[in-house]
Amino acid sequence: MKTITNIFFLLLIAVSLSAKDIDIKEIVRQADEKLRGTSSIGEVTMTIKRPSWERTISMKNWTLGNEYSLILITAPAKEKGQVFLKRQNEMWNWVPNIDRMIKIPPSMMMQSWMGSDFTNDDLVKESSLVKDYEHSLVGKETIEGYECYKIELIPNEDAAVVWGKIYMWVSKEKLLWLKAEYFDEDEMLVNTEILTNVKMMDDREIPTHLEMIPANEEGHKTIMTFDEIDFNVDLKESFFSIQNMKRLR
């Protein structure tokens, strides 16, 4: 009996040491970076679903790190030609139909983007999942056949972030970001993000189907499908300029 107890005790120590050896912050960093690369050019289809209607928007997207992105709407005709620029912590919208450049103020960051379940802040992503949050491993679960780390992200006291808490599921193998839950400051669930359909895109395997599902709006969700993407392309900061917004085609 004493031998069994000793073995059980040693197993507990081994599990504890194993958990401590896992660098949770590095797992979050790699999972986030895998989806973005250091830079990228891609084509994306967004479908907004509502109980009585749905509509689809096509776009082209350029990114450079966490600080810069450009989105060109390519369809439908009504929105075609609109451009959104994220440059560090600022966001701009070029509307060619009315020949107007609009700077989106901080007060509008939580408003819906293009009528979807994504917000303007989701595009800007002013906060950093790595720098602005404390990370802890709170469990391990299986999602779509992948064994995953369940990671809790709590914002640092001085961080200017939108969410009061985030749960993130990352696969142990290949570090794929497969799910996230976003909570407000009162710890009420706001959105659930589900990432599926893992495919080889350019030089890496990533989920190519993303669903954003609001917690309190039955029948509402927005689907993002990554149709094509090239990572680590040659892009300069100067490409992400207000002047260039009017030139994109």
3-state secondary structure at position 215? coil
pLDDT at 9: 44
Choose between 207 and 65: higher pLDDT. 207
Beta-carbon-side half-sphere exposure of residue 209 (alpha carbons within 13 Å): 5
User: Positive or negative, the Cα torsion across 175, 209, 190, 130?
Assistant: positive
Is residue 237 a contact partner of residue 244, using CB atoms and an 8 Å limit?
no
| Amino acid occupying residue 218 | E
3-state secondary structure at position 130? coil
Report whether pLDDT(197) > 50.
Answer: yes
* pTM for the structure as a whole: 0.84
Q: Which CATH architecture has domain 23-245?
A: Clam (2.50)
Predicted confidence (pLDDT) per residue in 48-101, tens digit: 999 999 999 999 999 998 889 999 999 999 999 999 999 887 899 999 999 999
Helices (H), the chain: 2-21, 24-36, 120-124, 242-245
* β partners of residue 142: 147
Mean pLDDT of the chain: 88
Choose between 159 and 144: higher pLDDT. 144
Predicted confidence (pLDDT) per residue in 115-124, tens digit: 999 988 777 6
Predicted confidence (pLDDT) per residue in 171-194, tens digit: 999 999 999 999 999 999 999 999
Report whether pLDDT(2) > 50.
Answer: no
pLDDT at 124: 64
Report whether pLDDT(15) > 50.
Answer: no
Residues 6+ away with beta carbon under 8 Å from 11: none
